Structure 1
């Protein structure tokens, strides 16, 4: 079982995601679509 710190948010997408974008492309999506920092400690 994975233990997460309290306050960690888990974000799930309800739709299609292009996994070919790699980590950099998906991190950009987090910044522009969710207006969040991909290094915030939350799970996307």
Structure 2
């Protein structure tokens, strides 16, 4: 999955029967990916210490 809502929505299109659920999941996955990217340098600093 990616940070892009639209790309995630396309990935989920075949597996999620409900449009509402598909959009909610795509949004959730986008937020998680963005948070992972923002927190990654913090995690790397902790590992080096």
Larger helix proportion of the pair: 2
The structure showing larger relative contact order (alpha-carbon pairs under 8 Å, at least 6 residues apart) is: 1
Larger Rg: 2
TM-score, normalised via structure 1 length:
0.32
